[in-house]
Amino acid sequence: MSPTTQGAPHATRPPLDEQGVPSFESSGGDWDAIAAEAVELGEERIVVNMGPQHPSTHGVLRLMLEIDGETVTEARCGIGYLHTGIEKNMEFRSWTQGVTFCTRMDYLAPFFQEAGFCLGVERLLGVADDVPERAQVIRVLLMELNRVASHLVCLGTGGNEMGATTVMTVAFTAREEILRIFEMITGLRMNHAFIRPGGVAQDVPAGLTEEFRRVDGEVRKYLTQLSDLMLANPIFRSRLVGTGHLSLAGCMALGITGPVLRSAGLPYDARKAKPYCGYETYDFDVPTSTDADAYSRVVLRLEECYQSLRIAAQCVERLDASVGEPVMVADKKIAWPAQLAIGTDGMGNSLDHIREIMGTSMESLIHHFKLVTEGFRVPVGQVWQSVEAPRGELGVHLVSDGGTRPYRAHFRDPSFNNLQAVSLMCEGGQVADVVVAVASLDPVLGGVDR
């Protein structure tokens, strides 16, 4: 039996088989290439797998780290473990049903994916200017509250990965308050499919203003606690200041967006650069830093939470001033589901609408049946729509062949691009700093793999 060694070699000279050929036993992923390269170089090195099931990788992310002692000499990402075929599945569903798929990609930012997709569909339909103002305000409200909830998960899990469990409990408690508003408006805490082509599924319920004011006050108190726990903590600062550095030149070269780009000094934000949903009419600031490290990204995300709450408060004021206005386009060939309202059982269309289409109008019944089962047709063309998601610019590329379902739907998820920076941020640093650097990127692998 020939002598073998498991995984990467631990000796300068590899063992030989009966013919005098170096022999290794390796399996999985890049191990064959790693072993071959080790033989060629004749060097001793250690290659460590961090993940794909690891509490510090924000999901099923595999990090392949080559280390020399405690120093990382090479870092590479392995993705694809959470691939669900969402983009391909959307080609076999109607345009409206596509919302149910894309909301599940980045599961911490569902409203941004719904909004980006629907804005693209509306541009293809030529009805972008016909979407009611109230529907756009509801979209902005949901997206900005979603941004706060997403940043809270980033801050909480990042703190927990460094041993600060209290940071996680405070952040998650604050997030629960926001999820209560989501459940109040959409009926669900996540995977909402609430934003639809042409508007939103239904109007906001009564009592939203009072509930928002309560939640706004609670979340601000929790954000103050998080600031006290993290920003003034000498241990927290020593772990993050100067760690995971990525310059503006590096961000530009790799297509990095979001808080990571803004931490390097560039105030790029799609809400300001390419306004959508009426963002140009809201008063808010885009915080930036020039430190370009993990600590500055924590500071920026906290500040972005306050700016999002500031926008959300303006949304609530506009909703109070527009009670009774429509939340879906008037064109009944697009507005699906038609005249949606919650019945006494908490589900489905309103009983009045059901009585009409079932008992008094055969035309309404036929139209409703065709709209739900077949869907509406979208003119031939393609569109690119981007929105500012919590992790950066989310791009949506849609192609229509004139049918009732997309010919192609592709998403540019910011986490996918941001992960390219792992090697630049980690190589030359300590193994422990890899945890901090990855946490500062805030990747969500549901969006990366799709």
CA distance 167 to 227: 10
DSSP result, 212-230: HHHHHHHHHHHHHHHHHHH
The answer to whether 420 and 448 have CB atoms below 8 angstroms apart is no
Give pLDDT, residue 376. 86
The answer to whether 52 and 81 have CB atoms below 8 angstroms apart is yes
Domains observed in the chain: 1-44 (no CATH), 86-336+375-449 (1.10.645.10)
Q: What would the pLDDT profile of 61-116 be if each residue is shown by its tens digit?
A: 888 888 887 888 888 888 888 888 999 999 999 988 899 999 999 899 999 999 99
Specify which residues 398 forms β-bridges with.
383, 409
Which ranges of 85-241 does DSSP label H, i.e. alpha helix? 86-90, 98-102, 110-125, 133-161, 165-186, 208-230, 234-240
Give pLDDT, residue 4. 38
Nearest to 319 by CA among 218, 203, 215, 217: 203
Nearest to 155 by CA among 171, 139, 175: 171
Half-sphere exposure of 365 (CA within 13 A, CB side): 9
Give pLDDT, residue 338. 46
Q: Is 278 left (phi over 0), alpha (psi -120 to 50) or beta?
A: left
Give pLDDT, residue 164. 83
CA distance 342 to 140: 22
Give pLDDT, residue 259. 92
Give pLDDT, residue 67. 85
Give pLDDT, residue 28. 55
Nearest to 161 by CA among 260, 64, 50, 35: 50
The answer to whether 200 and 138 have CB atoms below 8 angstroms apart is yes
The answer to whether 322 and 133 have CB atoms below 8 angstroms apart is yes
Give pLDDT, residue 15. 65
The answer to whether 65 and 410 have CB atoms below 8 angstroms apart is no
Over its length of 450 residues, how does the chain's per-residue pLDDT go in tens digits? 333 334 444 444 556 666 666 655 555 556 667 667 766 766 667 888 887 877 777 778 888 888 887 888 888 888 888 888 999 999 999 988 899 999 999 899 999 999 999 999 999 999 989 899 999 999 999 999 999 999 999 999 888 888 888 999 999 999 999 999 999 888 888 888 899 998 898 888 888 899 999 999 999 999 999 999 899 888 888 888 988 899 999 999 999 999 999 999 999 999 999 999 999 999 999 999 998 899 999 999 999 999 999 999 999 999 999 888 888 888 878 886 544 555 555 555 566 667 766 677 777 777 777 777 888 889 999 999 999 999 999 999 999 999 889 999 999 999 999 999 998 998 888 888 888 899 899 898 888 988
Give pLDDT, residue 161. 84
End-to-end CA distance of the chain: 45
Q: What would the pLDDT profile of 405-422 be if each residue is shown by its tens digit?
A: 999 999 999 999 999 999
CA distance 303 to 162: 22
CA distance 349 to 387: 31
Q: Indicate the angle between helix axes 133-161 and 208-230, nearest 10 degrees.
A: 30
Three-state secondary structure call for residue 407: coil
pTM, rounded to two decimals: 0.84
Give pLDDT, residue 5. 39
